[in-house]
Chain A
Amino acid sequence: MSPAFAYYPGCSLEGTAVEYDRSGRACCAVLGIELTEIPDWSCCGSSPAHAVDTVLSGALAARNLGLARQGGFGGVVTPCPNCLVNLRTASRDLDDPDRRARINALLSTPCEGGLPAVSLLQALHEQAGPAALAAAVVRPLAGLKVAPYYGCILHRPPGLMAFDDPENPVAMDQLLEAAGAEVVAFPFKTECCGASYGVPRKDLVMELSGRLLEAAADLGADALAVACPLCQMNLDLRQDQIAASRRRAFGIPVFYFTQLLGLALGLGRADLGLDRLVVDPGPALRKLGTGG
């Protein structure tokens, strides 16, 4: 039914965000979205490359798009928002003859043109959709209050990403609701978590991620749902540091949204990598009567 996507995991999904990779693939498999990993994929040219040389970062992403084209795929799906920005930017550049020539000068196998790239969230929302998801739910997330957090770049810049509302996105809300969760009206859906400032400016992350955790706690959320490896790391791994700096305990587990959808779809904890979360999801999941 759905067209076969080339799957571009990106480097985080092989390291810090293995559970995002695992749960995303598992959800797609249940919902009939066929993902084929791009063979021999390489770095998308994320954080460091695009800051130094946009042609270089374009070439890095274009290499992966070229491999997907050679594989005969009509599009690429990636879980990581940063990879998505780079793949989309490269795709746009490849459709411009001048930019394409400059990018291809760096590639051993030239890429003739762009290829649509979508986020895993967009793929799940558009290829499966809330209705199909709801039909496939076996263990509804009833009783779990979730704050959906999209991060700052999943929908931005709006002209490039062209999906959902860049200021008040709703795709993840709708999927989580379809999975039976109680979704809170989270006002900071698209605020920055501090992103990669964790090393040079830890104080910034304490402030920005701290605001997010406080807002979720004030809304009575049992859990946060995220779609970005960096957001997950800041909110989960650093939650103790943030709690110390703000003198307030949170204990809010930070799930990838695919982990929560997977739970509702009846997938096992091991399939979803729930054991990899730093903040213990146990108390939250016990509300479902499914965890523990």
Chain B
Amino acid sequence: MRLGVFVCHCGSNIAATVDCAAVAEAARAMPDVAFAADSIYTCSEPGQEAIVAAVAEHGLDGVVVASCSPRMHERTFRRTVARAGLNPYMFEMANIREHVSWVGRDKERNTAKATDLVRMAVEKLRRNRPLTPREFPATRRVLVIGGGVAGIQAALDCADGGLEVVLVERTASIGGKMAQLDKTFPTVDCSSCVLGPRMVDVAQHPDITLYAYSEVAAVSGWVGNFEVSIRRKATYVDWNKCTGCGECIKKCPAKDAPDPFNAGLAPARAINIPFPQAIPKKAVINAAHCKQLTTGKCGVCAKVCPSGAIDYAMTDTTVTEKVGAVIVATGYELFDPTVYGQYGGGRYPDVITSMQYERMLSASGPTGGHVVRPSDGREPQSVVFIQCVGSRDRHIGRPYCSGFCCMYTAKQAILTRDHVPGAQTYVFYMDIRSPGKGYDEFIRRAMEEYGVRYVRGRVSRIFPKGDRLVVRGADTLMAAQVQVEADLVVLAVGAEHAPGAQELAATLRVSIDEHGFFLEGHPKLKPVETNTAGVYLAGACQGPKDIPASVSQASAAAAKVLGLFARGTLASDPQVALVDPRRCVGCLKCLKTCPFGAIREEQGRDGAVRALVVETVCQGCGVCCVTCPQGAVQLQHFTDDQILAEVEALCRTPLPTCG
């Protein structure tokens, strides 16, 4: 076997604390190494061409690159090696940047450690075997979970790209948080005028199947071949018959149901359509508040419904759909401000959340677009906005910036002046974060054209004084305590993960971060992928995002899905576990430990039970290999022999003397 070793300087990233030439020199003495060199940027075009040239010139059978993390460039170099005519798996990478140069300063010891890592890679490569991915057909359909603006965009982009789309929305209508908004920043255009037509597009698109008031219950299978069961929750209304006329709502005597769409500003009837532009525009009975369902004494809606759509006996049903990819767009939830006892949210009626204020500003909201105090219905002359309620506060477990609150606060302050001319508006802020296009100019307009008074400092307490509220806080620019009397206080609440995100992540076998948001594959290079093949992310389920960012990411996720299906068939990763049927005794311990459900029980022709790895499901984690008491399961590309060879190579070098 003839191997080549390439030691990368990574500019000064590695070369500053590793003697790369010395590592290459040491590599020349390693077994089977026929060629070794160091280069400044191995991943650059000349760097890659040098590898291709060396393979041809020296007749190499395999290549080691000692450079950065394989997460960064393993695929790059595999392609290079393939271009040079070798099997892409006849390649090994030694990480001498993250594991050596970035963690140690002693050049001599770093050089020795880098040499050790190269020696291990060489020993492993000597035992590598060419691997070939298998092709398998994919179901050209995509599941989109969540019908907010991100889910809508992803569904439309996929459908316009020629894919069949299954869109699952948990609530009774698509539209998400954006549908609740009155106006959007920084253009101050009407939110439902922007979103409404897109919602209609979803409803009318021949290739989109919409399951509203439904939840994803289980997902099995693998990229290209997922099987999804969707629980359709009982609406107690036959949606095939319901015309959305609203007669039932007018007559329903139960008027105390919660109204999440109006953020709790007004109660709703037990039978309800969430908002006038709802898609689908169908009624749903809230079982907990329906007098017929709780006491059996009502039945008014059934009597008045002109199409006979009411069905009190309805139960949950389950449908199964086959899809090839999944886009998660489950969005976010707003922070519950009652956590801050000092602000009195939930205790003082005139302390409301930003979403409640948004509903108040909306012409279709419960006050018809009139800004009023919930306590007495009076028009407020002084409105105080408090930013960072549930953002950037590690004491309550929300150390992150929610991103969009600065902007929506400026928007609401501007709109306040439009709704109540002459009203005084104050914004207590920590920093203004407005990096989007046209955003900072928007904040300036609030300050300069609309006279919104920005006070930099935290609010310590809100307390009532007569029928008004006193907001006490610090003005850190004046280094003084300040007090502002307010008729209405709006808490600019931050974002947190959507309820149920953790359960959904477990169902989809993807990761979530420490704050409950879905975790992307790589923060820079795989921002819409997850670590599970075929599952993509869009919008605020990955972290707080405003509308432009959510829509962009949704289109990116759709592009990834379209790209995935573009070739018709998918290639499986050959770095999977393989069962040696001669050694397998059929104990199936591997089946129990496999976290991906990739192992099946199979009966051989001799009648004996054995384990079988489903190549397309296996993620190559290796748990089965260490579980198997027989050593019958081996992970391709990471066999016991290869790992032991690496360990031996490491043990052969004498330990460096200290001092």
A: residues with CB less than 8 A from B are 165-168, 185, 187-188, 191, 215, 218
Contacts and interface: CB of A to CB of B under 8 A. Distances in A.
Contacts of A166: 341
B465 A168 contact: no
A187 B341 contact: no
Contacts of A168: 341-342, 344, 347
Nearest to A186: B463
A187 B463 CA distance: 5
Interface in B340-360: 340-342, 344, 347
B306 interface: no
19 contacts: A165-B341, A166-B341, A167-B340, A167-B341, A167-B342, A168-B341, A168-B342, A168-B344, A168-B347, A185-B347, A185-B464, A187-B344, A187-B461, A187-B464, A188-B461, A188-B463, A191-B461, A215-B463, A218-B465
Nearest to A167: B341
Nearest to B460: A191
A218 B467 CA distance: 12
Nearest to A166: B341
Interface residues of B, number: 9
Nearest to A168: B341
Contacts of A185: 347, 464
A215 B342 CA distance: 16
Interface string B517-559: 0000000000000000000000000000000000000000000
A165 to B, nearest CB: 5
A145 to B, nearest CB: 16
A165 B342 CA distance: 10
B341 to A, nearest CB: 3
A270 B599 CA distance: 80
A117 B342 CA distance: 26
Given A167-B342, A187-B461, A188-B461, 13 more contacts: A166-B341, A167-B340, A167-B341, A168-B341, A185-B347, A185-B464, A187-B344, A187-B463, A187-B464, A188-B463, A191-B461, A215-B463, A218-B465
Contacts of B464: 185, 187
A166 B396 CA distance: 12
Contacts of A191: 461
Chain A facing B: main interface SS: loop
A160 to B, nearest CB: 13
Interface in B307-364: 340-342, 344, 347
A191 B342 CA distance: 10
A187 B461 CA distance: 9
Nearest to A218: B465
Q: Nearest 5 A-B pairs (CB), nearest first?
A: A167-B341, A187-B463, A168-B341, A167-B342, A165-B341
B368 to A, nearest CB: 31
Contacts of B461: 187-188, 191
A215 B466 CA distance: 11
A166 B465 CA distance: 22
Interface in B460-499: 461, 463-465
Contacts of B463: 187-188, 215
Contacts of B341: 165-168
B223 to A, nearest CB: 45
A284 B376 CA distance: 33
A218 B461 CA distance: 18
Contacts of B340: 167
Contacts of B342: 167-168
B489 to A, nearest CB: 13
A224 to B, nearest CB: 16
Interface in B262-317: none
A215 B461 CA distance: 14
Contacts of B344: 168, 187
A6 B553 CA distance: 61
A185 B347 CA distance: 10
A2 to B, nearest CB: 29
A67 B335 CA distance: 46
A88 B333 CA distance: 37
A230 B463 CA distance: 24
A185 B341 CA distance: 13
A191 B461 CA distance: 9
A187 B465 CA distance: 10
A215 B463 CA distance: 10
A157 to B, nearest CB: 10
B465 to A, nearest CB: 7
Contacts of A165: 341
A167 to B, nearest CB: 3
Nearest to A169: B341
Q: Which of A168, A185, A191, A215 has the most CB of B within 10 A?
A: A168
A187 to B, nearest CB: 3
A188 B464 CA distance: 10
A46 B341 CA distance: 28
Nearest to B342: A167
A215 B347 CA distance: 18
A191 to B, nearest CB: 7
B96 to A, nearest CB: 38
Residue from A165, A167, A185 having most chain B Cβ neighbours under 10 A: A167
B467 to A, nearest CB: 12
Contacts of B465: 218
B645 to A, nearest CB: 44
Nearest to B346: A168
With a 10 A CB-CB cut-off, give which of A165, A166, A187, A188 has the most chain B CB atoms. Answer: A187
Most buried by A among B341, B464, B465: B341
Nearest to A157: B395
Contacts of A188: 461, 463
Contacts of A167: 340-342
Contacts of B347: 168, 185
A215 B344 CA distance: 16
A207 to B, nearest CB: 10
B396 to A, nearest CB: 10
A115 B344 CA distance: 35
A212 B465 CA distance: 13
B395 to A, nearest CB: 8
B173 to A, nearest CB: 36
A167 B344 CA distance: 9
A187 B347 CA distance: 11
A156 to B, nearest CB: 12
A166 B463 CA distance: 16
A167 B459 CA distance: 13
B337 to A, nearest CB: 12
A187 B466 CA distance: 12
A233 B342 CA distance: 25
A218 B463 CA distance: 12
A154 to B, nearest CB: 14
A191 B341 CA distance: 13
Query: By CB atoms of chain A within 10 A, which of B340, B342, B344, B347 has the most?
Result: B342
A38 B347 CA distance: 42
Contacts of A187: 344, 461, 463-464
Interface string B208-244: 0000000000000000000000000000000000000
A185 B344 CA distance: 11
A187 B341 CA distance: 10
A188 B463 CA distance: 8
Contacts of A218: 465
A100 to B, nearest CB: 27
A187 B344 CA distance: 9
Nearest to A188: B463
